[in-house]
Amino acid sequence: MSTDPQFEADHPASCPLSIHDMTVAYHRKPVIWDIDYNAPPGKLIAVIGPNGAGKSTLMRAALGLTPKISGRVHFYGQPYAKQRGRVSYVPQRGSVDWDFPVNALDVVAMGLYRQIGWCRPVRRRHRKEAFDALQRVGMADFAQRQISQLSGGQQQRVFLARALVQNADFYLMDEPFAGVDAATERAIVELLRGLRAEGKTALVVHHDLQTVTEYFDEVVLLNMRLVATGPTEKVFTSENLRKTYGGKLPLLDQVGHRMTMGQVDP
Amino acid sequence: MIYEIAEHLSGWTSLDTWIVITAALAAMACALPGNLLLLRRQSMMGDALSHVALPGIVLAFLLSHWLQAGGWMSRQMHEAILHPIFFAGAMALGVLSAVLTEWVQKLGRVESSASLGAVFTTLFALGLLLMRAFADNVDIDPDCVLYGTIETVVVNTWPGTNIPRAAVINGAALLGNLALIVLFYKELKISAFDPALATTLGVNATVMHYALMAVTSVTLVAAFESVGSILVIAMLVTPAATAHLLTDRLSSMLGISLVVAAASALLGHAMAITLPPVFFSRIGFPADVGASTAGMMGVAVGMLLVGAAFLSPRYGVLSRSARRFRLRLRIVADDILGLLYRLNERGSAEQPRTFLQIFRGAMGVGRLQTFMAFRWLCWRGDVAIQSGYCSLTPAGESAARRLVRSHRLWEAYVEKHFGVPQSQLHHSAERAEHYLSPRLQEELAGELESPQLDPHGRPIPKPDNPPPADGA
């Protein structure tokens, strides 16, 4: 299949994520329509849109976690099933049961399960690897803590450490900044920049419009359909934001956006 | 009464031992998948599967019967495969019910428990109907299914041995489940904790779900015959729930649930032989009424769960109230120290400070607590009593100074940053003073540029003042 020149042109092996004509519906009601998108490699990309715009659905459908009605998705030029090792997904913090009887280290080690393989135990070197990842997110002191005893920010860092041990090239993160403290937010940003410096790519669902220009190179503006995609400085404009949020953009965000972009009326 | 219980227990025979062993094996076999059901928040699935096993068994029986009647199978073969085919039938219906449940949930747009309830009652009713319709062909006794026949377990032994057949079957189920859990520990854990991650890592969470349903169904059928469906439901979830209260690690949870299951089998049977003659006869029941062992095991495992709820180290009612009580005592003790310090400060060193006055000073607190806190301070050597009057020892003095420093720093901080009127500062500081660590105190002091006086104009004590030199 990969010998087909037309296919090569559409799905270059360097492109972390290419989505072609993807539509997803829930109870026959479309959630996202006709998505066509190629993610540029080596960038930090924000997915932005109002509630219910289908940001999480976009990620879940791309990974095959939510069934698609139509569309093709490729990671580095191949279907996801062949590229699992190069792609890592960080779900929303609320998606799991934090009362589960595991500690932080166990959760991080889960990121290695694919690497360890079926029916084989987690060995000491895997635990060491997981511990190193916890150290990278500043959570080494909490390795033995049961996960419900961690704060929201700490839980998010555990999730990030779990993504780090997967040692992927492309990271999909669903709202990693939601409900975290300032220290964790800084830690996540540092981490993302570290990943970018290693030539990796991250697609991040993001809510805080104030920090988009500071944190991200590229944006994907989504409201059921793609509104605009491209480099932040070109695409992240008031005009596009109005199109994305319709009348729903809160006043405070509008003001904040004008402030961060330095927009003043003539 | 203890003598009486011992007397009844001394009649223990190998029959009782086999009953306990069989029941323990059945309970342990059920407890293993029960842990996973509980953690996946699918406890009710066990209830459903135990009902759905009935139509599975009946359908399997009818199928094999027809095959034999039609001449496709010899009588010997029919006899031989009867039991395996029961398991297969229950397993098939178990998976079918899981599929149907999801289907009804999507199609009917109802929540999962509602669709579960609809599916398993319908299938159970179908099983009953089939049983009635073909009553001549099916020799299944509904009473047996509900209560089990553990008391007569030794009658039916495995060919060639004197081990009860039920013990062999349940033992095999336990070993099989243990092997599966050890082998697929990682995969079961991750698909229970985070199905999305499991799927992205290539562990198909949906397949794991159906596999768990199939394994649970087989275990249930194995246990049915000996302990009955009511107990099976209890043993599926209750040992796991008990273990969840006692530990924070999945591996220990699995181990503890096995111990709880085995213990409740032993305890249940012991209760079944002793309670009726010792207690029931005293309240007017005839002494010879036996209590069902299976029923008592259900009671026993429930008791163990309640015990764990009280005694669990982190979530237990007792340990939580003990922690609360310690905290309150600590706060009252702090308040007494503060009171003595302030009395000293007002230059009323000569004023008599009897225990009663301290009592009145610690307002709004129970007298017992004040008394206990006071005794604790004396025992720790922070307060000394001389001829009925209390005074701070040097150690108590420095503890009191830390507390008062904490109080006044907080007042200064709140006044500076929140503009709270002076009259209300005290109230908030009364609460906060107990929680400010020395490091926090220093941060507050640094932020306020080491103030000398609090908003009321009283001096803020220094932290590391050398204790008042006795010789000077």
Which residues contact residue A52 at a Cβ distance below 8 angstroms, ignoring those fewer than 6 apart? Answer: none
CA distances from A52 to A48, A58, A245, B369 (A): 11, 11, 11, 54
Tell me: the pLDDT tens digits for B408-422?
Answer: 888 888 888 877 777
Kindly list the distances between the CA atom of residue A261 and the CA atoms of A189, A204, A233, A234, A236, in Å, as whole numbers in the listed order. Answer: 20, 21, 9, 11, 9
For residue B244, what is the enclosing H or E element? Answer: helix B205-246
User: ipTM of the predicted structure?
Assistant: 0.87
Q: Which CATH architecture has domain B2-313?
A: Orthogonal Bundle (1.10)
CB contact under 8 A, B194 and A110: yes
Residues A224/A33, Cβ–Cβ less than 8 Å: yes
- Are A103 and B189 inside 8 Å of each other by CB? no
Residues of A in contact with B252 (CB under 8 A): 101
Rounded to whole angstroms, the Cα distance separating B255 from B170 reads 18
The CATH fold assigned to B320-392 is Arc Repressor Mutant, subunit A (1.10.10)
Scanning A67-86 for CB atoms below 8 A from B yields: 81, 84
d(CA B26, CA B34): 12
The pLDDT score that the predictor gives to residue B467 is 42
Tell me if A118 and B187 make a contact (CB, 8 A cut-off).
Answer: yes
pLDDT tens for chain A, residues 1 to 266: 444 555 556 667 889 999 999 999 887 788 999 999 999 999 999 999 988 899 999 999 999 999 999 999 999 999 999 999 999 999 998 889 999 999 999 999 999 999 898 888 999 999 999 999 999 998 999 999 999 999 999 999 999 999 999 999 999 999 999 888 888 899 899 999 999 999 999 999 998 888 999 999 999 999 999 999 999 999 998 888 888 887 666 666 666 666 666 666 65
pLDDT tens across B269-285, in order?
998 888 877 776 667 66
Give B-chain residues touching A107 at CB under 8 angstroms: 193
Which range in B2-16, B164-178, B431-445 is most confidently predicted, on average pLDDT? B164-178
pTM for this prediction: 0.80
Task: Centre a 10 Å sphere on the Cβ of residue B104 and count the other Cβ atoms it contains.
Answer: 19
Q: Is A266 helix (H, G, I), strand (E, B) or coil?
A: coil
Domain residue ranges in chain B: 2-313, 320-392
- pLDDT higher than 50, residue B182: yes
The pair of three-digit structure tokens given for residue B234, joined into one six-digit string = 């209890």
**pLDDT for the residue numbered B305:** 94
CB distance A87–B200 less than 8 Å? yes
Q: Which amino acid type is present at position B389?
A: Y
Q: Which residues contact A187 (CB under 8 A, 6 or more apart)?
A: A137, A138, A157
For chains A and B, CB pairs below 8 A equal 76
Nearest CB neighbour to B247, from listed A101, A120, A121: A101
Out of B41, B184, B202, closest to residue A119 by CB: B184
Q: Which of residues 125-184 of A touch B (CB under 8 A)?
A: 146, 162
Please indicate whether, in this complex, the C-beta atoms of B39 and A107 are within 8 angstroms of each other. Answer: no
Q: Does A51 touch chain B (CB under 8 A)?
A: no
For position A9, what pLDDT does the model report?
Answer: 60
Closest by CA to B131, choosing from B57, B64, B203, B241, is: B57
